[in-house]
Amino acid sequence: MPEVRSSGGARIRYDDVGRGGPALLFIPGWCTTRAGFRDVVARCASRHRVLSVDLRGHGTSEGGDTDFDSGTVLEDLLAVVEASGAEQVVPVALSHAGWWAVELRRQLGAARVPHLVLMDWLVSEPPAPFQDALRGLQSARWQETRDALLGMWLADVDDENVIRFAREVMGGFGEAMWARAAREISAAYAREGSPLRALATLEPASPTLHLYSQPESHDYLAAQVAFGMEHPWFHVLKLPAISHFPMLEVPDLVGVGIEALVSGRETAVNASV
């Protein structure tokens, strides 16, 4: 398994499979691991080189024994990109890993990061209940708050693979990591306002695809479609999945969406299937 030594000497481990550019860089969200991307990676590796990383202190990567922040994770991801030798990378980011995708684009520029793929991210400004949850994760109520989030993300789900991933993988992280995640996510929204606002600041713009399944809200989808009308480089696809983890439920559709964007067929990808 490839690895790179990053800040503080931590070993950051990742998979490196497939061939063909641009390379796809799969980035899990906080309190998840690259195992969640396994099925999508297998599909994408038939056409592209794929780098699928475990974040610092997650999965098989080291460096979780002391506190760290989003900046440290960004350093880790940059180290992986440089060690890989990939000339171009397309971040495929789950949930709030999207903030790192945006930063990679800022750091490396449009020539090296030609596209962005975002998955099940809260791309609007954070509503009050979400902000309450972030505060809860940083309090004595962290476990109750975490369990409520997992319950919401798994509502009406009967797929044992999805349930196991959420409850065993995500539920396996302790108070320190969940609190760190909430702290860093809160800081990103406070700094940027919203992901859509952050994306709109990129110059030149990067063709971007948001693949998502939750929330089941017409207004949420309509707002993204309207944003795409104003910013033609932004595309949204509402997936026919139930949980917060479409890469586990509908990996074929996720793979098709990624390929459509990277191949330049993104005009066919919008709204809902």
Give just the sign of the alpha carbon dihedral 213, 18, 61, 10: negative
Catalytic, 58? Answer no
Give the C-alpha separation, 71 to 68, whole Å. 8
Which of 41, 33, 196 is CA-nearest to residue 116? 196
List the domain boundaries for the chain.
3-124+194-272
Question: Span 3-124+194-272: which CATH code?
Answer: 3.40.50.1820
How sure is the predictor about 269, in pLDDT bands with cuts at 50, 70 and 90? very low
Give pLDDT tens digits for 124-160. 999 999 999 999 999 999 999 999 999 999 999 999 9
The catalytically annotated residue of 115, 210, 235, 244 is 244
Give pLDDT tens digits for 212-253. 999 999 999 999 999 999 999 999 999 999 999 999 999 999
CA dihedral 100, 64, 15, 199 (to 10 degrees): -10
Task: Please give the pLDDT value at position 41.
Answer: 97
pTM of the model: 0.95
Instruction: Please provide the DSSP assignment of 45-88 as one string.
Output: TTTS-EEEEPPTTSTT----SS---HHHHHHHHHHHHHHHT-S-
Give pLDDT tens digits for 153-180. 999 999 999 999 999 999 999 999 999 9
**Mean of pLDDT values over 4-14:** 92
